[in-house]
Amino acid sequence: MFLYSNFGQYQITVVRPQELSLRSIHIWNCIINNEQKIPILCYLHGTVTEAKDGKLGEARSADFLLNTGITQFNSTNYDALRPEQVIQSNKKYEEHVIRTNSLPNGNYTVCLTLIETQTKKQLANNCLKIVINNVTPPTLLSPANGSKICEPSPVFLWNPFRGSIESNLTYRLHIVEVLTNQKPITAIKTNPCFSVHQE
């Protein structure tokens, strides 16, 4: 979802990166249109915010000469924006990215502002909303998959689902007998349940 704004002769569009972290290399994904007849010296100011935790990161690019027409920056083509200046970075989120190589689930907004270097005038602004919602399914811990159980009242242990920014996500555990030469999916669909557990 784009939150779009332009100031006349300049337009900027934030493009969703293939991966999103607090590294400025991922913030600078954008397309800039300079409709003026002359190049202009400017820089980009970028922020990343999360709906619940507020501002997570803020950075300023180096000054660069914006030529007339269309200019595109991405994670493989942003040398003109170096060296960046990191103004703010959330340590808690940084540590999560280091551990998992991704941001935690959440509702993020990446905003870029194009600013003229000499006058500090804002030339264009654009924001992009990005939802990260990675969910892992429940994982059976014990007994091991494929085990034969002879106990009359077996105990099952599993990890619940992880992630999800949805608070109403639930799952059901169905226990059915798998008959000889029967596939597990067929058994779930056709055989009577011994137990149904909902979380």
Bridge partners of 149, per DSSP, are none
Supply angle C-alpha 85, 77, 118, rounded to 5.
Answer: 45
Show Cβ contacts of residue 20 under 8 Å, excluding neighbours closer than 6 positions: 26, 48, 102, 103, 108, 110, 130, 132
DSSP state of 192: P
Instruction: Spell out a b/e string for 159-174, using b for 16 or more CB atoms within 10 Å of the CB, else e.
Output: eeeeeebeeeeeeeee
- Shared domain check, 191 and 111: no
Same domain, 128 and 100: yes
Shared domain check, 29 and 119: yes
pLDDT string in tens for the chain (199-residue length): 444 444 579 999 999 987 777 677 678 999 999 999 999 999 999 999 999 999 999 999 999 999 999 999 988 888 999 999 999 999 999 888 888 778 888 999 999 999 999 999 999 999 999 988 877 777 888 888 777 778 877 787 877 676 666 656 676 777 788 888 888 889 888 998 876 555 5
**Ramachandran class of 189: left when φ > 0, alpha when ψ lies in -120 to 50, beta otherwise:** alpha
Asked if 127 and 141 sit in the same domain, the reply is no
Which residue reads 């429940």 in tokens?
A: 138
Residues 93 and 140 in one domain: no
Q: List, in sequence order, the alpha helices (H) in the chain.
A: 24-27, 91-100, 184-190
What range does the domain containing 102 cover? Answer: 2-132
Same domain, 127 and 149: no
Burial 120-135 (b: 16+ CB within 10 A, else e): eeebbbbbbebeeeee
Q: What pLDDT is recorded for position 2?
A: 47
Task: Tell me: do 35 and 128 sit in the same domain.
Answer: yes
Spatial contact of 169 and 161, defined as CB atoms under 8 Å apart: yes
Domain boundary pick from 116, 132, 148: 132
Q: What's the token pair of residue 125?
A: 């602004």
Q: Are 136 and 125 in contact (CB under 8 A)?
A: no
CB 69 within 8 A of CB 34: yes
Task: Please tell me the total number of residues recorded for the chain in this structure.
Answer: 199
Domains in the chain, number = 2
**Residue the block writes with tokens 């990446």:** 110
CA–CA gap between residue 78 and residue 182 (Å, rounded): 56
Q: Residue 22, Cβ neighbours under 10 Å: how many?
A: 21
